[in-house]
Structure 1
Amino acid sequence: MSKIRRGPKVLRIMWLTFVLSMTFLLLSSTALLIKDFLNYDVSVHTQLIMDNPSPFPSLTVCHQPPFSYEAYKLWNESKILSPSKYNLYMRKLILNALYKNDIQSASTIWSYDSLSVYYQNLNYKESLNLGHNLTIFLNCMRIYSHMSVFEDNCTLLNGYHIKRLSHHQYLNCYTFEPININAANETTFLSLIVGMGPRDKDINIQQAFLPDVFEQARGLRVVIHETGTMPDLEKNGIHVEPGKLNEINYEPIRWKKLNTPKRPCIKPNESHQYFDLNIKYNYTHTQCLLVHQQIEIMNHCHCIYVMHPRLILPSKTLPYCGQLWPYLNQTEFIKKILCLNKYLNNSIKQKYDGHMCFPRCEFYDYESTTSVTKWRAYPWQLYWLRVQNYATQSLIHYHNQYPFNNITYTNSFKLWEFYLNYNNLTNLPRKSELLKYNNNNNTYSDIFTLLPNWPPEYLDLDSEDFAYVILKRKSHSTIEKTEKLILNLYVLISRIGGLCSLTIGLTAAFFVELFEFCYLLYKNNNIQLSLTSKTTRIIQTEKKCIPLNELKQMDEKHSCLQHNLNTPIEH
């Protein structure tokens, strides 16, 4: 400041310009820094955490084509609307529209001859009957805690349960998921041998679904997803080739979102769960938006959109939006389509994003790689695995019920004994052989009923009648992605301090000096007020004669006080 008060005019103007410009730069830069700080921008820090096993994910399996043997039986008996009959109905609607010169309606209806729209014209139970049931899973195996569990009835697989998902493209899909967090953490390997269902040469081809020709495939579509969440088959689905060994190696990615005022996140609980056709699923940000969009569609369009979570079962009063059978009211249908176009707009989801639906603070994502090769296995190997599995489980069950009984008298023991003494495992036993096979003059005819009901010798491992899927961890490490503030409070203070030093030379001592200045100013003001009040009282004393010597003393005191007041205080 001394350079501004003293010196040549040119230098004073230069210094004044410098101080003002630097002060403006400091204030504007500080304002921009504070603005950036209040945006709460984040960066993602990635690190690999070694020996940190994450929960094993769920595996959802769907069939292509999705129809079972039971479906063709029901169609032949005319118990359920068949695709061919549905196609004839659609062609009739198109022809009627062309007779009326309504080309736009005809071209629109033509695109509805698809599996997805056909699904919407069935009731819920009919769609379940057309899809595959759990018997399509021929074998499954789980490896956990250095132990292997093999099951021919996958519903009995230890540590796992199976949920069914009814899908508009794949009908019955099945999700294999761990029963609890301990089972998920222990599992390292899950394999499934899945039958492919009817072959084209064994069935009457249904004449329908022409628009689906570019999406038709034979095989499986599988999804790896977080346990308890709803799989997204369209976005995350992986095709599995039939007749081959398909190994899926996954790497878990644990996301840790930062909860900020601009981008809040939540830790969902049971109150955030939702239903899809009476099946409960855990909360995700994407599904929350779709749920609220579905509610808007149900309230305003009076139908259920098949590609969003179906919060209730479809009914006559609230059907699917694509229902055309058995009678089409063209006016109402067009009105429904226009309503759908309005409420499927992204603006509907944006209305709930950040208001009702928030990202999860912590969740898992999975990166996977798939390798395909020839499966070198033999039917007799699967056969004897089933024998071992059944004999072991039966013996364990018997021993738990009767711990003090001798197990050598049980049929399960005889089954083990038969297997352990059998000479040629590649030659599968027949009942006639069991009658001839003696051990200590006892035949094994009584264990024939214990042998597998589904002999794997009928499974042609060189054909495309099955698919073998393996899901395994790449390692026990976890990739962790953590969001951190780009500009946190400490960085903000540091940058503002740097700007202060760079521009006008301010340091933290400035605040102490400012406090000192305010304190001294306050003290000086108090002294000034005190002196003023004393002087006023002296002047306003009663009018009386004052001796000359007293008057001189008063003048001397007053001049002394005035001198002290004008003298600057050293500090």
Structure 2
Amino acid sequence: MSWQQDNSLLSICSRTLRHTSAHGVPNIINSQDRWRSCCWTAFVLLVLGCMLWQCSQLTATYLHYPTQEKVTLVNSARLPFPAITFCNLNRARMSQLNLSKYHFLQNYLSVPSHDEHEAGMHSHENERNFAFALSQLSTQDQMELGHQLKDMLISCAFHDEVCNESYFTPFFNPKLGNCYTFNGPKLLSSSIHQTEVLNATKAGFSYGLTMELFIEQNEYISTLSTAAGLRVVLHGQGKMPFPEDEGVNVPPGQESDIGVVKVHVKRLHEPYNSRCSSGQDIRNYYTDVYGTDYSREACKKSCAQTKMIKNCGCRMWEFPAPPGIDVPLCNISEPSVNDCVEMYEYKLSHDQLKCHCPLQCEEEIFELTLSSSQWPSSKYMEV
């Protein structure tokens, strides 16, 4: 009975292979000689191998989770107006350094050399030494040294409506000193009772922000301030601005118009190969101190601070201090400490720090177009 069943099974398989639509297989069985049978066998195995290889490639591609960029142009009648941060290129006011309270800071300002190369080296050294001296002061004292908004802001208008100092949020930048943000996350205006983000309804400078600013160039420190003007950065409300790394310079004596195109980037989470992050489980001192959203640049600077604390035994004044950890400021007057700090500053600037800082999953990029003209005109000066 078993033999009959096996014989029946063999017969079924034989008939199936002889009449299958996979044409190469019947030719193997029906070939009149061994040579033809071997040729058809080799051909079928080759095709089968190609099929398996293609299936493996398709499977590997699927498991790689490929993505395709999708670009959508949006022309909306109502868009959130970006936050605008500006800082004076001069860190501290000379009149304040002349006060007895801050007179010791003048010891860190040396006379520049007439040789261009040597002057450049002196300028960089002066900036580091002066920044180190300022870091010994409290944040409040450092902000007192810098330019004040009430002295710089002459006029302000947004969408043809008058704005004032209450529209700006001050914050301290370790490299540029006092900075001021318009339409930032803490916007509060008593005149219009506005606590939400302002919106732009039309394109054109008449419907944006217009400011007339006085940079107080007479207060500039000659041995430190090589350029005069403002540093302007456009960013999202939740993003930490880094004017030392991004933005544009606006010179004095000119009317500068900045055209903006906003690019909103959305990246897919894992398992897609963008490997983006929203900041979960990533230590970010800027989020801890300022409450801003995660960004790759903030992550890298936080990572540099962590490595300095671990390997140099001190923290750098350029980056926020880790909350809850009492670590002294780096004293760059000590050669060993200065060498350690300079090494990590070099690695940070050349992207050589081994930090886990993926791209943010959502990012707003503002592409700027800057144009300028002489201001004021000769006729306006005669009035």
SS at match of 1:255: strand
Structure showing greater Rg: 1
Indicate if the aligned counterparts of 1:272 and 1:283 stay in contact, CA closer than 8 A.
Answer: no
Indicate if the aligned counterparts of 1:276 and 1:312 stay in contact, CA closer than 8 A.
Answer: no
1:23 is the counterpart of 2:51: no
What pairs with 1:4-83 in structure 2 (closer than 5 Å)?
4-9=28-33, 10-51=35-76, 53-68=78-93, 72-81=94-103
1:190 is the counterpart of 2:204: no
How far 1:24 moved relative to its partner?
0.9
SS at match of 2:198: helix
1:115 is the counterpart of 2:133: no
* Deviation string, structure 1 residues 237-257 (Cα, Å, up to 9, x no partner): 211121222111101111121
Structure 1 residues not aligned, in runs of 5+: 92-105, 379-459, 464-571
In structure 2, relative to structure 1, the CA distance for the partners of 1:304 and 1:53 (3 Å cut) is farther
In structure 2, relative to structure 1, the CA distance for the partners of 1:15 and 1:331 (3 Å cut) is closer
SS at match of 1:250: strand
What pairs with 1:401-416 in structure 2 (closer than 5 Å)?
none
How far 1:60 moved relative to its partner?
0.8
What pairs with 1:155-234 in structure 2 (closer than 5 Å)?
155-156=165-166, 160-168=167-175, 170-178=176-184, 179=187, 182-186=196-200, 188-199=207-218, 208-209=223-224, 216-234=226-244
1:265 is the counterpart of 2:276: yes
1:284 is the counterpart of 2:295: yes
In structure 2, relative to structure 1, the CA distance for the partners of 1:461 and 1:231 (3 Å cut) is farther
CA distance in 2, matches of 1:308, 1:4: 75
* Deviation string, structure 1 residues 130-168 (Cα, Å, up to 9, x no partner): 21011111111111xxxx3214xx223xxx341323231
Match of 2:305 in 1: 294
CA distance in 2, matches of 1:39, 1:6: 43
Indicate if the aligned counterparts of 1:84 and 1:207 stay in contact, CA closer than 8 A.
Answer: no
Q: Could you tell me which amino acid in structure 2 is paired with residue 192 of structure 1?
A: M
Q: Could you tell me which amino acid in structure 2 is paired with residue 11 of structure 1?
A: R
CA distance in 2, matches of 1:163, 1:372: 26
Indicate if the aligned counterparts of 2:253 and 2:376 stay in contact, CA closer than 8 A.
Answer: no
How far 1:225 moved relative to its partner?
0.9
SS at match of 2:270: coil
Q: Could you tell me which amino acid in structure 2 is paired with residue 257 of structure 1?
A: R
Structure 2 residues not aligned, in runs of 5+: 1-24, 188-193, 202-206
Match of 1:368 in 2: 368
CA distance in 2, matches of 1:126, 1:313: 22
CA distance in 2, matches of 1:272, 1:247: 38
In structure 2, relative to structure 1, the CA distance for the partners of 1:171 and 1:314 (3 Å cut) is farther
In structure 2, relative to structure 1, the CA distance for the partners of 1:267 and 1:330 (3 Å cut) is closer
SS at match of 2:171: strand
Indicate if the aligned counterparts of 1:274 and 1:281 stay in contact, CA closer than 8 A.
Answer: no
1:245 is the counterpart of 2:255: yes
Q: What count of residue pairs does the alignment treat as equivalent?
A: 334
Normalising to structure 2: TM-score of the pair? Answer: 0.73
SS at match of 1:183: coil
Larger RCO (CA under 8 A, 6+ residues apart): 1
Identity rate, percent: 21
Q: Could you tell me which amino acid in structure 2 is paired with residue 196 of structure 1?
A: I
Q: Could you tell me which amino acid in structure 1 is paired with residue 102 of structure 2?
A: I
Q: Could you tell me which amino acid in structure 2 is paired with residue 364 of structure 1?
A: E
What pairs with 1:270-419 in structure 2 (closer than 5 Å)?
274-275=285-286, 278-311=289-322, 318-319=328-329, 321=330, 323-324=331-332, 328-334=333-339, 337=342, 346=351, 348-350=353-355, 352-353=356-357, 358-375=358-375
In structure 2, relative to structure 1, the CA distance for the partners of 1:50 and 1:208 (3 Å cut) is closer
In structure 2, relative to structure 1, the CA distance for the partners of 1:462 and 1:223 (3 Å cut) is farther
Indicate if the aligned counterparts of 1:83 and 1:207 stay in contact, CA closer than 8 A.
Answer: no
In structure 2, relative to structure 1, the CA distance for the partners of 1:349 and 1:300 (3 Å cut) is same
Aligned-residue CA RMSD (Å): 3.9
Q: Would you tell me which structure has more helix in proportion to its own residues?
A: 1
* Deviation string, structure 1 residues 74-96 (Cα, Å, up to 9, x no partner): 322342256652145999xxxxx
How far 1:233 moved relative to its partner?
1.8
* Deviation string, structure 1 residues 41-70 (Cα, Å, up to 9, x no partner): 3231212123264321111111123333xx
Match of 2:143 among 128, 142, 154: 128
SS at match of 2:276: coil
How far 1:22 moved relative to its partner?
1.0
Indicate if the aligned counterparts of 2:278 and 2:294 stay in contact, CA closer than 8 A.
Answer: no
SS at match of 1:45: coil
In structure 2, relative to structure 1, the CA distance for the partners of 1:74 and 1:371 (3 Å cut) is closer
